[in-house]
Chain A
Amino acid sequence: MAIMPHSGAPGRLATLRLLAQRFAFVALVLASFMLMLLGKADTLLIERVRLVVQDTAAPVLDVMSRPAAAVAQLFASVREIARIRADNVRLKEENERLLHWQTVARRLDEENRALHGQLNYVPDPATSFITARVVGDTGGAFVDSMLVNAGSRDGVRKGEAVFAGEAMVGRIAEVGLRFARVLLLTDINSHLPVMIEGSHAKAILSGENSDRPRLNYLSPNAVVQPGDRVMTSGDGGAFPPGLPIGVVSSVQDGAPSVEPFVHRYQLEYVAIVNYGLPGIIDGEAGEEGSSQ
């Protein structure tokens, strides 16, 4: 393309070529819109192609994320050294408190087991989990999702709950062979049935692409105060009830906002938990039925 003809018939050729280029450009713009429509329709072909691209990119991202993690770790350790004394005091206090709680928990566990025995209680299905590393923190301003380096070959299934420490941070939205995409609770597409600890008031936790998701559809006479713990309600059958999520941070102007226990930037390793519950997530049960 670098050699431009200068006169006569070749000149016409150049015009034609320019026209062809214009046409190709317009065609590609239209193709982008087509892609948007196709993506919206959730076709199987698009899904497959996406998975292939991501499966190819996942190992590369895995490698690239290692030095980034090392740098982050360096900064973190510098910060930690600065705080070591204060942390020590705090941890000692916390340990004392937790030891007390451990005694309480042991007693409650005993009691619980005894009561289960008396009631012929049907136990929840056994849980299993997979630990994975976050290799991609993606989406920029519009999507709050992450790529982790475990996929279907490791036993990850769509819809499973994702934990960091004890707190739920999201769920698996997409599964490739070697990677899975975690849709965080803060994503604008995330809606999760939750309840307030204590009062058991039900609500839907909706992401807003900000740090703090909001409680929607809270019953009007429910009393919610800052500091109340929010956990899953188990409605819908996708997750068991009582998984911790965060605390209510403010209750001004309508829907209260929730401060998650774990923030997006803190995620390095996550646990993907299978509760053995069927769940009703994005019609995924039907998909699974057809693929088997």
Chain B
Amino acid sequence: MRHTLPFVATLLLILLVATPTRLPGFASIAPQLPLASIFYWAIYRPDLLRPWAAFVLGAIADTIAGTPLGVSSLMFLAVQGMAGSQRRILGRSFLMAWWGFALVGGGAMLLEWAATSLELVKLLPVRALAFQYLMTLTVYPLLAWAFARAQVALLQRS
């Protein structure tokens, strides 16, 4: 039961991102919290968030956000794949992970942009994406801290 934490947490973040804030201009630059969650768990507990889970979460995210189906799945899998393959290095320290997220997350969001543009057959504006990237990067430490607390409290095995 406790082992569903990564999945449930990511799902909650997907819903949280979708709640209306009614702040001017915020909706288009709201941080990609689910992406940070996928990244975190791919490094620290990849056994609890398997690729199929990332795929399913991506499909749910796309469905709720109304973005073309499959785009988020692809993005989540890309983050998971990249982070997972370098987890020994990225997991060494928090700064390392943050720096890794800057690279991996940025790459994934560019991938999302390319895939969505391809799907809609239109070149989408990049400005909002750049702000969204910065927002996501800024929020990552907070999220990582919360996850670390949750991980210690619920998942740590002696």
Contacts and interface: CB of A to CB of B under 8 A. Distances in A.
User: Do the two chains belong together in a single complex?
Assistant: yes
A141 interface: yes
Contacts of A265: 21-27
B128 interface: yes
A257 to B, nearest CB: 13
Given A53-B60, A139-B66, A209 B124 contact: yes
Given A69-B22, A140-B27, A264-B27, 7 more contacts: A29-B81, A57-B64, A137-B18, A147-B18, A188-B122, A209-B125, A210-B125
Interface in A132-185: 134-147, 173-174, 181
A57 to B, nearest CB: 5
Interface residues of A, number: 60
Interface in A252-279: 263-268
A32 B21 contact: no
Interface stretch (A34-42, A217-225, A231-239, A240-248): A34-42
B43 to A, nearest CB: 16
A25 B77 contact: yes
B124 A31 contact: no
B22 A36 contact: no
Interface centre among A46, A140, A266 (most CB of B within 10 A): A140
Interface of A: 1-2, 21, 24-25, 28-29, 31-40, 46, 49-50, 53-54, 57, 60-61, 64-65, 68-69, 72, 76, 134-147, 173-174, 181, 188-189, 208-211, 263-268
A31 B55 contact: yes
Contacts of B115: 36
Interface in B108-145: 112-113, 115-116, 119-120, 122, 124-125, 128-129, 132
B70 interface: yes
